[in-house]
Structure 1
Amino acid sequence: MVGVSGRARTRRLLSAAALSLFAENGYDSTTVDQIAAAAGVARRTFFRYFPTKEDAVFPDHDSTLVKVSLVLEAEGDGEEPITVVCRAIREVLRMYAAEAEVSVARYRLLRQVPALREREIAVVSRYERLFTKYLLAHPSASASPDSPDAPLMAEVSAAAVVAAHNHVLRRWLRGGGTGDAMAQLDHALRAVRDGLVDPRRRMSDRRVVVTVTQAGSGVDEVLDAVRHALN
């Protein structure tokens, strides 16, 4: 019986063989038999892993969706829900970055085959739906869960996080999968998070420092008093 690591290895072999043949012969001209032969397995083995040759292009999203769900479930006490969602979407980029060469080949293929682009849209929508559901169940501390706009804001927030991820991912893939994609994603997510968190909540996180100095104090003395208060 093939172990878990063996199954994962076979999935990767089949996916890599499919992408290679699609690039060489074209998506429509490549058959399941050819993919199986290139991976060194029987035709029936292919169907143990993928229902169709189209599915071989997207081998890791099911397991990644589970990882994303686990991140959402492991939220910290008092964390802003959008922060948890931003942390969860990093698992998706981590999946692509783990095999940069394969991810780049997949991206180039998707640009050539409309049917595969449609499948990608459907896959991405699963993450968006998961985030929307989470945000509906975990409203922001600065928002009322009974607000009629709560469903709208949950959906908009989820879409914004996914859009930020996809923007960074496409740019990284167009660049050949080089560079620190995770750092770029973190930067994009900070911008999204800052735009979505209620401004009043952000203001409440700021400190107001009051110092008292004698009349006639010089600028240096005032600055020293402020520094002392801050420390």
Structure 2
Amino acid sequence: MDAIPVIATGMEQDRPKQQGWREKKRRETLQRITDSALRLFASNGYEATTLDAIAEAAGISRRTFFYYFDSKEEILAAWQKGLPEAFHAAVLAQSKDQSPLDMVCNAHLTLLANFDAEQAMAIDRILRSNEQLRASNQAKYLLMEQVTFEVLCEIWPHQPRRETLRVVAMVSAGALRLAIDRWAEGQGSKALADYVKESFAALRSLSAET
């Protein structure tokens, strides 16, 4: 018996569009909550910012807030999680005629071109304000190291280079951490991008000497 062709109904054809629309709205709401929270943290302080204030600023109900987040800590975690994802894309967008170290450095500088220094300084102070948040903040550098290694392996997949790429990932994560620490200690008196350039220049100099 010949198979009977299945003709998609208009409703079935619309499902992918509806699902795509829902996902787009979900991402937009998630971003709006995160942005609103970070602005309030920066202006009012982390402890003084309530979940109700975040929901109001984002234009949602308290119930909707809890659909996306359980706490203020989760908002900070989501913000930190987005950094490695953006960095991964920035590395892949770099010109491939650079050394791995230069590619990583320039990817960081690309992201810093749209850097909100005042907000980032306030967030950095929050992340250093208690032990739990400090631990989360330090874990970010381990994640950055892993993401750096993975994206470099995408670009240079040949096995003989793996050890070199792992070293680049480790030292570049350290250079980023040093740059951020110096920037925070200086209270933003100089642009973070300048500290990043200096840290990576020190790595190149050390490599040349050895």
Q: Give the TM-score category using the shorter length.
A: 0.5 to 0.7
| 2:105 corresponds to which of 86, 111, 120 | 86
2:96 counterpart of 1:109 = no
Deviates more, 1:158-167 or 1:45-54: 45-54
Opposite residue 167 of structure 2, the aligned amino acid is V
3-state secondary structure, aligned to 2:46: helix
TM-score normalised by the chain length of structure 1: 0.63
Q: 2:73 aligns with which of 30, 39, 54?
A: 54
Task: List aligned pairs for 1:1-231, cutoff 5 A.
Answer: 8-18=31-41, 20-24=44-48, 32-33=51-52, 35-36=54-55, 41-91=60-110, 93-94=112-113, 98-136=115-153, 145-146=159-160, 150-151=162-163, 153-196=164-207
Q: Distance between the aligned counterparts of 1:168 and 1:137, measured in 2?
A: 26
Match of 1:221 in 2: none
Contact 1:68/1:89 (8 A) holds in 2: yes
Deviation at 1:125, TM superposition (A): 2.0
The percentage of counterpart residues that share the same residue type is 24
Question: How far apart, in 2, do the equivalents of 1:40 and 1:193 lie?
Answer: 48
> Unaligned 5+ residue runs, structure 2?
1-21
Q: 1:64 Cα shift?
A: 3.4
For structure 1, which segment, 84-93 or 163-172, has the greater mean C-alpha deviation from structure 2 after superposition?
Answer: 84-93
The answer as to whether partners of 1:83 and 1:193 remain within 8 angstroms in 2 is no
User: Which deviates more, 98-107 or 114-123?
Assistant: 98-107
Q: Of Structure 1 and Structure 2, which has the larger fraction of its residues in helix? A: 2
Q: Aligned partners of 1:89, 1:76: CA distance in 2, in Å?
A: 14
Shift of 1:84: 0.9
Amino acid at match of 1:11: T
List per-residue Cα deviations over 1:137-156 (Å, max 9, x = no partner): 556xxxx9537xx43x4333
Contact kept in structure 2, 1:164 and 1:189, CA below 8 Å = yes
The alpha-carbon distance between structure 1 residues 48 and 76, as it changes in their structure 2 partners (threshold 3 A), is same
Structure ID, larger Rg: 1
* Aligned-partner SS, 1:122: helix
| 1:54 shift after superposition | 0.6
Deviation at 1:82, TM superposition (A): 1.8
2:96 and 2:39 mapped to 1: Cα distance? 42
Query: Kindly tell me: are residues 178 and 7 of structure 1, through their superposed partners in 2, closer, same or farther at Cα, counting changes over 3 Å?
Result: farther
For the residues of structure 2 that align with 1:103 and 1:184, how far apart are their CA atoms? 15
Cα shift at 1:3: 9.6
Decide whether aligned partners of structure 1 residues 128 and 93 sit closer, same or farther in structure 2, where only a CA change above 3 A counts: farther
